[in-house]
Amino acid sequence: MMNHKNRKLGLSVLFMASLCFLGNSMGVASGLPGSEPMRLPKDMKRYVTKYYTLYTDKPKQDVVEAAVRLRVMAELYHRRTKSFGGVIHSKLDFYMFQNKKDYNAAGAPVGSAGVYKSVTQGNKKTGMLLAVVSSKRDWSTVQHEGFHQFVHMAIGGEIPIWVNEGLAEYFGDSLWTGDSLQTGIIQPRRQKRIVKMIKEKKMVALETFLSITRVKWNAALNTGNYDYAWAFTHFLVHAEDGKYRDLYAKFISDISRGRKWHIAWKARFGIVPSVMEKKFHQWWLNLPENAGKEALREWTLKTMVSYLARAQFLRLKFTTAEEFFTAARGGKLKLDMKKHFKVWLPESLLTEALKASEAYTWKLEGRTPRQKLILIDNDASVTIAGEYRVTSAAVKVSSEILKHEKKAPATNGK
């Protein structure tokens, strides 16, 4: 069992802050202990990022984007699991492939898009994350499998499979804002599947699901189990204004220290699973059909604020939201990857956020460098204010949500 005297995850002392290229073509590389050498593309190169050693045959722009995504992913996982996390003593390995042929040749399972291969020898843990990344959608798989890697390397004990997969699915659905990952995303099709399962009574009893073993899970891999784990995780994190969030973290912490799940459950939640099951079902049944809109709205704001902050590096100043959006649509916020390396973001992310921004009304308050971008959703009578803070190495984005009973007038920044 891991030594729990110091459970603070030492991310800050592990890695260099910049992206470095190391080595030339690879061809063959050593795999996990006791395994056959990996067959890798000859043009695959090795890069050192802030938290990962990245091996990839993709072009430089994709490498830089991956470095940013991996940084925010690791920091999110650290923040959200630090109450039950251990200590990572080395960089995490990630092999990112352009195509499935090379991915499979390296030893990844046929039919998969990403996998985490783990090994534990005594108290020593190691493993590698492999994934095909040919579009932004593939990052959902990277985030999912990346969470498994993080759990294996940073968390003591053996957490239940439903916890591991539920959180991996939860974080896998997160959307990149440029400076963070927006969690709490509810895909409409998935919400419909959950509601249908509940109404048609196709879900097994919660107590039975909580007792499922890794062997049984792997013996019958199906979408229903992943949906169940994701839905229950979403409930524990968000239901009743986050009422169960801290209890859930303490529950996992107990298990990571060797406590049996049913003992930890009783100690933390204080109610039998059947009672929690009723609350769980009712919460999902009471959600509005567009339950995912709130998280998507916040993603839009945070992403646009990320680009507003980068306007500072381009020495652009705006007095109105209309000026800012006009500049964004006109290509004025394009960043040079070499000149603005520390804050670079791809144009594709801005294009996606601009499209989503058309559904809202916008205002801009204050002056550079402390401006506030305000999103107003007139249909939902909700206003979100987002601010940014620029440091020498990063951009910090924050937001607050103000709800209004009446529609708020604003200058349209479309």
Query: Of 156, 177, 210, which closes a domain?
Result: 156
How far is Cα 86 from Cα 94, in angstroms, rounded to an integer? Answer: 20
Question: Per residue in 222-246, pLDDT tens?
Answer: 889 999 999 999 999 999 999 999 9
Structural domain tally of the chain?
Answer: 3
Model confidence over 70-107: pLDDT tens digits?
Answer: 999 999 998 887 776 566 778 999 999 999 999 999 99
Q: Are residues 35 and 142 part of one domain? A: yes
Say what the pLDDT of residue 282 is.
98
Give the range among 110-114, 378-382, 405-409 with minimum mean pLDDT: 405-409
The pLDDT assigned to 11 comes to: 37
Residue 106 and residue 57 in contact, taking contact as beta carbons nearer than 8 Å: no
Task: For residue 252, give its domain range.
Answer: 188-286
Q: Please check the confidence at residue 56 and state whether its pLDDT lies above 90.
A: yes
The pLDDT of 204-222, averaged and rounded, is 91
The verdict on 194 and 254 lying in the same domain is: yes
On whether residue 183 sits in a domain, the answer given is no
81 found inside a domain: yes
- Is pTM beyond 0.75? Reply is yes
Give the mean model confidence (pLDDT) for residues 286-292: 92
- Which of 156, 173, 206 is the last residue before a domain boundary? 156
- Domain check: are 140 and 23 in the same one? yes
State how far the Cα of 409 lies from the Cα of 405, in Å rounded to an integer: 13
- Reported as a pLDDT band with limits 50, 70 and 90, residue 275 is very high
What pLDDT is recorded for position 18? 47
Q: Note whether residue 168 is domain-resident.
A: no
Q: 20-22 and 45-48 as β-strands: parallel, antiparallel, unpaired?
A: antiparallel
User: 152 and 19, same structural domain?
Assistant: yes
Residue 101 placed within a domain: yes
- The mean pLDDT of 131-154, rounded to a whole number, is 93
Q: Answer yes or no: do 316 and 374 share one domain.
A: yes
Residues 80 and 35 in one domain: yes
Residue 309 shares a structural domain with residue 282 = no
Among 140, 156, 172, the domain-final residue is: 156
Structure tokens at 283: 């919460």
Report the range of poorest mean pLDDT among 7-11, 43-47, 105-109, 355-359: 7-11
Does 308 share its domain with 275?
no
Contact 232, 206 (CB under 8 A): yes
d(CA 255, CA 167): 15
Same domain, 314 and 383: yes
In whole angstroms, give the CA distance from residue 98 to residue 207.
42
| CATH number for the domain that contains residue 66 | 3.40.30
Label residue 32 by pLDDT band (50, 70, 90). Answer: low
344-358 pLDDT, tens digit each: 999 999 999 999 999
Answer for the pair 110, 104: CB distance below 8 angstroms, yes or no: yes
Query: pLDDT category, 157, cuts 50, 70, 90?
Result: low
**Is 241 within the bounds of a domain?**
yes
What pLDDT is recorded for position 7? 31
Residues 28 and 58 in one domain: yes
Q: Are residues 278 and 228 in the same domain?
A: yes
* 413 assigned to some structural domain: no
Mean pLDDT of 155-177: 91
Q: Please, which contacts does 188-194 make with residues 24 or more away whose CB atoms are closer than 8 Å?
A: 188/289, 188/290, 188/292, 190/227, 190/230, 191/284, 191/287, 191/289, 191/291, 191/292, 193/223, 193/227, 194/227, 194/231, 194/284
Mean pLDDT for the chain overall: 86
Are the beta carbons of 378 and 403 closer than 8 angstroms?
Answer: no
Q: What percent of the chain has pLDDT over 70?
A: 86
Does 294 fall in a domain? no
* Measured distance CA(225)–CA(152) in Å, rounded: 21
Q: Residue 236, SS3?
A: helix
Q: Determine, yes or no, domain membership for 181.
A: no
Q: DSSP assignment of 131-151, as one string?
A: EE-SSGGGHHHHHHHHHHHHH
Residue 402: the pLDDT is: 74
Query: Residue 5: pLDDT band by 50, 70, 90 thresholds?
Result: very low
Same domain, 279 and 310: no
